[in-house]
Structure 1
Amino acid sequence: MDTYNIPETMKAMTLVAYDKLELAQVPVPKPGPGEVLCRIKSVAICGSDPKMIHGGYKFANWPPYFPFIMGHEWAGQIVAVGEGVKDFVPGDRVAG
């Protein structure tokens, strides 16, 4: 069985205000019921990201809060699963 060293914190690109990004050290989340925790191996910029950074979705109240962790185009590997997860196991490769 694979063992995954899950750190307490991780780096995250955060949008702290419109037109202001900061690299932050944040706590690694723990997967809740029905959730998985992924170690992200790569991330890309989507066409919607620059528009969001510059306030292009203010009318939709997006992002819903600041700081907001960026990066929704990603690939990685599951390292932990929450209670009730049956379709995924640590080690599975995933993308979103």
Structure 2
Amino acid sequence: MEKFEVPETMKAMTLVAYDTLELAKVPVPKPGPGEVLCRIKSVAICGSDPKMIHGGYKFANWPPYYPFIMGHEWAGQIVAIGAGVKDYMPG
């Protein structure tokens, strides 16, 4: 299995309040059971992102917490796997 160096922190665009984004340094999450950790190579803005930023999903209590890390349209590379992951490998 290929080994990757995983840093302790990463940069993330966070929504800290409606209409307020901040580029933050946050801890890199550890993959839990059945999860993989990916190093993001590219990310795009989805049509729902501006709506979320400007409070368009208040009826659904979205985002569920602050700060909320933005970005769900991405491509990347698996760098770590959690316990029980059998179908995917780093690389």
TM range (shorter): over 0.9
SS, match of residue 85 in structure 2 = coil
Q: Select between 44-53 and 1-10 the one with higher mean Cα deviation.
A: 1-10
Q: Which has the higher contact order (CA 8 A, sep 6+)?
A: 2
The structural deviation recorded for 1:9 is 0.1
5 Å matches for 1:1-96? 1-91=1-91
The percentage of counterpart residues that share the same residue type is 87
The structural deviation recorded for 1:5 is 1.1
Matching residue's letter, 2:12: A
Matching residue's letter, 1:75: A
SS, match of residue 34 in structure 2 = coil
Unmatched runs of 5 consecutive residues or more in structure 2: none
CA RMSD of the aligned region, Å?
Answer: 0.7
The structural deviation recorded for 1:52 is 0.4
- TM value normalised by structure 1: 0.92
- TM value normalised by structure 2: 0.97
